[in-house]
Amino acid sequence: MRIFRTKQALQSYLDELREAKQRVALVPTMGALHEGHLTLVKEAQQIADVVVCSIFVNPTQFNDPGDLERYPRPEENDLQLLQTIHCDIAFMPTVEEMYPETEEPWHLDLGSLEKVWEGEKRPGHFQGVTQIVYKLFSLVEPDVACFGQKDFQQIMVIQRLIELKKLSVVLHICPTVRNEKGLALSSRNMRLSAEGKHKALALYRSLRHIERYFEVRNLNTLRTEALDILHQEGEIDVEYLAICETRSLQEVDQIEPRKKHVALLVAWIEGVRLIDNMLLD
C-alpha cells in the first residue's frame, strides 16, 4: 500500500495510473476505521482497478470545537487495517495541505437539504462536507466514489454536489454495516460503554419496526410506536425520528406512490450522538 500526505505526490502517482487506463475508486473517510469502512474499500475493489482511501478529519464540518478535538485519530491502527485488506493507496493530508491560506470562500446551494434534519441541527455542516468532498473529487478525479448508507442525508447532499458541479464521478452507495445484533458500526461507538452499546440496539429495533409495518400502518401511528420502543429502553434522548421521501428528505404522513422513502433517526446515549436510517421501499 502506498501512503501519500501531499496532494502533489498523490496527483503525480494517479496521473501514471490514468495513463494506463486504470479505473479509480475513492473512499473518503475521517479515520477511526472499522468494519464498515473496510467493507466500503472491499466493495470499491470489486468495481475499480485502484482504490484510494482518504483519511482526513475535516474541521469545516464540525459545529462543536470540542467534538472536533475529541474525534479519534488512531492513525497507526487505520493504516494496519487498510494494509490487511490490500488497499492500494492511503491519502493522509494535514489540515494545512487541504486548506491553504489562500482558500477561497465556499458556498453551495443545497436547497432544502441544508435546512432539514442534520442541516438544521448542524448549521454549516454540509457546506463543510461538500467543500472537502469537492476538493477530494478534484484531486483524485475518481471514476466512482463509495459512501455508506448510514449517513443518508450526506449521500443526498453529495449527489446534489455532483449535479451542481456537473462531475462525472458515479456515486456508489453501500448498505449500512451492522454488528451481529443490528447496531450500525460507527467510530462514535468507541465512546459508548458496554451498557450504552446494548441500549443503542433499540435504534435498530425501532427502525426495523417501521420497515416491517411501513405498508400496512398509518405512518404517524407507526412513528409513535417506534418512539415507544426507544423510550422503553430508558436513557435514550431522541433528537429526531422521521419518515421521509428520499430525494428531498421532506417528512411525509402517508406513502407517496412512485416515490422512495427512508426512516431517519438520531438519538443520544451516554452523551454520544448516534445516527441511523432504514430504507423502507
Tell me whether residue 37 is one of the annotated catalytic residues.
Answer: yes
Dist CA 78 CA 83 (whole Å): 9
Residue with cell 473517510: 29
Contact 243, 222 (CB under 8 A): yes
Residues belonging to the binding site for (R)-pantoate are 61, 154
b/e 169-181 (16+ beta carbons within 10 angstroms → b): beebbbebbbeee
Catalytic residue selected from 37, 125, 172, 209: 37
Query: What values do phi and psi take at 33, rounded to 5?
Result: -65, 145
Residues belonging to the binding site are 30-37, 61, 148-151, 154, 177, 185-188
- Active-site positions read 37
